[in-house]
Amino acid sequence: MLKNKVTVAIAAAVLAAAAAGCKYKVGQDPNSVSATAGVTVMACDESFQRIMEQEINVFEYQYPNASILARFIPEQQCIDSLLHTNNTKLAVTSRPLTDEEMRYLELRKRQPRSKMIAVDAVAIIANTDNPVNEISTADLSKILSGEITEWKWVEPGNKSGNIDIVFDYNGSSTIRYMTDSIMNGQPFGKNVFAQNSNAKVVQTVAQRKGALGIIGVSWISSDLKGVDMSTEELASASQKNDTTNLGFTPDIKVLAVAGKGQLPGEGKKPYQAYIYDGSYPLFRPIYLTVTGYKNATQSGFFTFVTGYAGQKLIQMTGVLPAAMRPRIVNVD
């Protein structure tokens, strides 16, 4: 019964978004739908909002008769929306659909296709006044479980006080990743809080000396072009082979992370080169799943994101694109 209620609520939200967001041009035939014209709905994990907003902006700029209506929601809601509402044609998640989920769509003639489009790093961020520069995955596990609750137990002499862990949303892919990869399915301690916003995670860490934030790297990349460039400039940049230095927002401190087998001082920050060679231990794939026939608007967007221009846009957010080698710049 609960599943049915959730499905109905998702369907209603999708229909409302579609009704509010359609932007056909004057004189355009609303029945004219192709890979570069028409309206389609995408459900995207909130962790990847900044990445996909750039993709949508440039795609719609290049194809003004196309409109991608994006809903940024927790990962499981994305999958539920794709499976149980006919309106949602695309989903961006940190895991591929299971064989059972793919069969479910196939039995309903939804023609699902899925592809890994990038590898995302989960960044660990601290306040700039906190003297900590590196953390091990072993200590991170103890902090998340509540075994370590003060910074002085992470490094002697650190007077930053109590440790408050801040995530984005309850049920987010970031929480699932840390639960599976760092906690081995064990519960979090009482010092773990959800801020209900990725931007709020950054803001909380910037304001609170003892806070430790866990967030997708695109949210703290100072190289994010959507901040400084117009859509026209973004579209032009996505066609070029130039590179730019990658860095992180100065509002917070991005910690180096030492994985299993790494000694103190060997930890790496989430630069693309270290995601690529596996020396940064906290990384996860990003998948784009599309349903429907290959000449539909959603398929045009799928082709764009997985093609050269779409992959270049991903590279410009600090995330590692699936089809390109990383830029080895600004690493330490």
Helices (H), the chain: 2-21, 49-62, 75-84, 99-107, 137-145, 173-181, 198-207, 225-228, 231-237, 272-276, 297-306, 308-315
The token pair that represents 79 in the structure block: 């999958």
* DSSP state letters, 195-227: -S-HHHHHHHHHH-TTEEEEEEGGGGBTT-HHH
Looking at the structure, tell me whether residues 276 and 295 fall in a common domain: no
Looking at the structure, tell me whether residues 94 and 196 fall in a common domain: no
Looking at the structure, tell me whether residues 136 and 273 fall in a common domain: yes
Which residue segment(s) compose the domain that 304 sits in?
2-119+284-321
Supply the CATH number for residue 87's domain. 3.40.190.10
CA distance 215 to 162: 20
The token pair that represents 14 in the structure block: 């999708």
Interval 199-250: pLDDT, tens: 999 999 999 999 999 999 999 986 443 445 556 655 665 555 444 446 788 9
- Pair type for strands 164-167 and 192-194: parallel
Looking at the structure, tell me whether residues 170 and 69 fall in a common domain: no
Residue 192 backbone dihedrals phi, psi, to 5 degrees? -110, 130
Residue 186, in any domain of the structure: yes
Looking at the structure, tell me whether residues 129 and 263 fall in a common domain: yes
Looking at the structure, tell me whether residues 147 and 183 fall in a common domain: yes
Looking at the structure, tell me whether residues 156 and 279 fall in a common domain: yes
Residue 108, in any domain of the structure: yes
Residue 329, in any domain of the structure: no
Q: Are 69 and 40 in contact (CB under 8 A)?
A: yes
Count of structural domains within the chain = 2
β-bridge mates for residue 66, sequence order:
38
Residue 326, in any domain of the structure: no
β-bridge mates for residue 212, sequence order:
126, 165
pLDDT for the residue numbered 232: 66
pLDDT in tens, the chain (332 residues): 334 444 444 444 444 444 344 444 434 444 567 999 999 999 999 999 999 999 999 999 999 999 999 999 999 999 999 999 999 999 999 999 999 999 999 999 999 999 999 999 999 999 999 999 999 999 999 999 999 999 999 999 999 999 999 999 887 899 999 999 999 888 999 989 999 889 999 999 999 999 999 999 999 986 443 445 556 655 665 555 444 446 788 999 999 999 998 999 999 999 989 999 999 999 999 999 999 998 899 999 999 999 999 999 998 888 999 986 555 444 44
CA distance 42 to 167: 24
Whats the size of the chain, residue-wise? Answer: 332
Looking at the structure, tell me whether residues 103 and 71 fall in a common domain: yes
| pTM (global) more than 0.85 | no
Looking at the structure, tell me whether residues 266 and 310 fall in a common domain: no
Looking at the structure, tell me whether residues 269 and 288 fall in a common domain: no
Residue 145, in any domain of the structure: yes
Whole-Å CA distances, 296 to 26, 30, 38, 39, 79 = 21, 13, 8, 9, 20
pLDDT for the residue numbered 30: 44
Residue 331, in any domain of the structure: no
Looking at the structure, tell me whether residues 306 and 186 fall in a common domain: no
What three-state secondary structure class fits 60? helix
Interval 240-288: pLDDT, tens: 544 444 678 899 999 999 999 899 999 999 998 999 999 999 999 999 9
21-28: long-range contacts at Cβ-Cβ below 8 A with a sequence spacing of 24 or more?
21/67, 21/69, 22/67, 22/69, 23/67, 24/65, 24/67, 25/64, 25/65, 28/65
Looking at the structure, tell me whether residues 189 and 259 fall in a common domain: yes
Q: Closest Cα partner for 55 from 323, 324, 307?
A: 307
Residue 105, in any domain of the structure: yes
Q: Are 49 and 319 in contact (CB under 8 A)?
A: no
CA distance 210 to 191: 11
Residue 332, in any domain of the structure: no
CA distance 184 to 170: 18
